[in-house]
Amino acid sequence: MIDLHYWPTPNGHKITIALEEMGLPYTIHRVDIGKGDQFKLEFLKIAPNNRMPAIVDHAPADGGTAIDVFESGAILQYLAEKTGKFLPQDVRGRFEVMKWLFWQMGGLGPMAGQSNHFNVYAKEKLPYAMERYAKETGRLFGVLNKRLSDRRFVAGDYSIADMAIYPWTLAWTNHGLDINDFPHLKRWQDVIAARPAVVRAYALAGERKPMTEEERKVLFGQDASTVKP
C-alpha cells in the first residue's frame, strides 16, 4: 500500500494520474497547504522541502522497509520503475521520456507557477513579472505544440512525461494564452482528458475555494526562517 500526501494542484494531480493509470492501491492524506499542513513535523520527515506531493511505499520492490519519496518527478520515476509501466526499459526510449520529464520539472512547472503567481494571486500587479513569466510559459507551450505536431504523445507511447506535463497545460487562460493557437497541444490534451484514469484522478480533487487572506499569508510569506532547525 502507498500513502500519498496530496493536495489538488497540478503537482498533486500528476501523482493521482500515475497511481490510477498504474492500478496501484493507495491512501490519500490531504495536505491542506493553505492551512499549513506542509509544516507538520510528521510530514516534514518525508518531505523536508515542505511541499507536497510525497509518497510512502510500504511494500517496496526490494522487500525492505518503507521508502519515502518527495519531488513529483522523482515520485513518477519511482512508480514507473516499481510497476515497469509508462517508462521504457531501453536506454533510448527511457531517456526520451526523462528529457521531457525534466523539461516539465525544470521549465514548464516553475515558469507557469510563477506566471500563476504574478498574474492571478499577487495583489500587487507588477507588469514586468507578469509579462516575463506569461511570455516564457507561452514559449514553452509553443515548444510542446511543435513537439506534438508529428506524434501522438510527448515521448513514444503515453508515459510519465505526459502525466507530468498535462496538468500544467490546463490553466492556459492564467497566462493570457488561447489553447486554439496550439492545435497539436489541444488535440493531445483532449486525448489525455478522456482517459478513464485521468477522469478518476481529477474526480478526487474536490472543490477548490478562492484563496483567503490567511491562506495567502501561509503560502506567500515563507522565507529562510520558515525552515526550523
Q: Say whether residue 115 binds ligand GSH (CB under 6 A).
A: no
CB of 218 to ligand GSH, least distance (A): 7
Phi-psi map region of 53: left, alpha, beta (phi>0 left; psi -120 to 50 alpha): beta
Q: According to CB under 6 A, which one of 4, 22, 33, 55 is a site residue for ligand GSH? A: 33
Q: Is there a contact between 64 and 35 (Cβ–Cβ < 8 Å)?
A: no
Q: How many helices, marked H, and strands, marked E, lie in the chain?
A: 10, 4
Q: Say whether residue 68 binds ligand GSH (CB under 6 A).
A: no
Q: Say whether residue 185 binds ligand GSH (CB under 6 A).
A: no
Sole window of 47-55, 128-136, 137-145, 175-183 interacting with ligand GSH (rule: CB under 6 A)? 47-55
Q: Say whether residue 198 binds ligand GSH (CB under 6 A).
A: no
Q: Is there a contact between 52 and 116 (Cβ–Cβ < 8 Å)?
A: no
* E strand or H helix that includes residue 73: helix 72-83
Q: Is there a contact between 4 and 102 (Cβ–Cβ < 8 Å)?
A: no
By CB under 6 A, the residues from 1 to 30 that bind ligand GSH are 9, 11
Whichever of 96 and 215 has its CB closer to ligand GSH, that residue is 215
CB of 147 to ligand GSH, least distance (A): 21
Cα angle 198, 204, 206; round to 5:
125
Q: Which residues bind ligand GSH (CB under 6 A)?
A: 9, 11, 33, 38, 50-53, 71-72, 219
